[in-house]
Amino acid sequence: MSPPNKDRKAGQGEGEHRKDAAHSLLEARREVHIRRARRALLLLLLDAGTATADDVADSSGPAPDGIDGRFLGTVPGPLARAKIIRRTGFVPSSRPSRHASTLSVWQLDDRAGAIA
């Protein structure tokens, strides 16, 4: 077992790198489902103003066979980087399968960008 990393920032950077790599792999393999979920998120935001991954899961139905529902974690990233949406806070998940994990609350920031 290796000793813990004393530089917390280095550990966070490595964690972000690993998350980005996993999301890239998911996007390459699940592109159609992720695109549908992004559309669902944007439609929810256009209608209600805020949404979470639980809202997307509820609106788009169950994940297709063989696909873990955690793929929804890849959905908001490109929209946030494009400044179409932004995180406004966190809430506990209401889905039993998520065991009350913490979810980001997303808000529409660029209505024209979302429509485009």
Could you tell me the fold of the domain covering 8-115? Arc Repressor Mutant, subunit A (1.10.10)
Q: Model confidence over 2-48: pLDDT tens digits?
A: 555 566 666 777 777 676 655 555 555 567 888 889 999 999 999 99
pTM: 0.72
Mean pLDDT of 61-80: 82
> Is-contact 37 72, C-beta < 8 A?
yes
